[in-house]
Amino acid sequence: MPRHTPDQPPDTQPTAPLPAAFLHAAVTVDLVVFTILDADLKILLIQRREPPFVGHWALPGGFLRSDGGLGEDLDAAARRELQEETGLPPAGMYLAQLGTYGKPDRDPRGRVVSVAYFALVRPDLAPFVAAGGDAANATWHSVSELARLSLAFDHAAMIAAAQARLRQELDTTGIAFELVPATFTTPELRAVHDVIKGIPSDPGNFRRKFQAMITDGLIEQAPGKRITGGKPAMVYRFRQQPTESS
């Protein structure tokens, strides 16, 4: 077994430039942005104005910028695009990498490798996103109606992957908290689960899981009650900051 004996520290090594013979690809980030509106899971789509796929619906996103130097970080680019297309502050929003799509023919303009991200927008902020930003014609679409739209590039595959991941992370991580306002009630959080899972869950049993989160110190009661036509619900908020992206 050979020993590990670096000749010199990596930082001071001569950095031979990258051979131009290697393939160089344009890099984009695409965002699958979810929210819940009208008790329905929605994603944000924009309508394309430039070729290719003029008129088709597509995920918000764009090319990595070079900014003169080596260019920007992938995560930073995703946050920047999210802000540009939604007008929302880039911090404090759930954003995670989903996967990378790089089939040679996925973009007719040339070799483009796209890093897909998935983001969650709180429903109280969702109505404002379409208005702002430089992405004209950005609208929320119900995921149940996506089959009718012919989406640009391989964006349909990205959405499918994002939806699978959303479902999977729902019961393993605290991702549901990213889809309710800062203060919320038990039935509101339950509605998030029901919409994503597709089937309604038992109100009583859900409350017990909720109770466990309170005793675990994850959630605390907030002042006020919420009137909904029946018995008013208690209002809660998180104790620790909700999950941030990596």
Judged by the rule CB under 7 A, the positions of this chain that interact with DNA are: 185-187, 202-205, 207-209, 211, 225, 227-234
CA distances from residue 187 to 167, 201, 205, 208 in whole angstroms, order as listed:
19, 10, 11, 12
26 binds a second copy (CB under 8 A): yes
Per-residue tokens: 181: 């306002």
Taking CA atoms, 226 is separated from 125, 156, 194, 195, in Å, by 19, 38, 20, 21
How do 94-101 and 112-120 pair as beta strands? antiparallel
Q: How far is the CB of 231 from DNA (least distance, A)?
A: 3
- Please report, for residues 26, 103, 105, 158, 206, the alpha-carbon distance to residue 110 in angstroms, rounded to integers and kept in the order given: 8, 11, 7, 20, 50
Name which of 25 and 212 has its Cβ closer to DNA.
212
Could you tell me the smallest distance in angstroms from the CB atom of residue 194 to DNA? 11
Question: From a second copy, DNA, none, which one binds at residue 228 (CB under 5 to 8 Å depending on kind)?
Answer: DNA
Name the minimum Å distance from CB 169 to DNA.
Answer: 16
Check binding of 14 to a second copy (CB under 8 A).
Answer: yes
Please state, in angstroms and rounded to a whole number, the distance separating the CA atoms of residues 159 and 15.
Answer: 40
- What mask of x and - would describe binding to a second copy in positions 104 to 143, judged by CB under 8 A? xx-xxxxxxx-x---------------------x-x----
Omega before residue 181 within 30° of 0, cis: no
- Binding residues for a second copy, rule: CB under 8 A, are 1-2, 4-8, 10-11, 13-18, 21-27, 47, 51-57, 63-66, 69-74, 97, 99-105, 107-113, 115, 137, 139, 148-150, 152
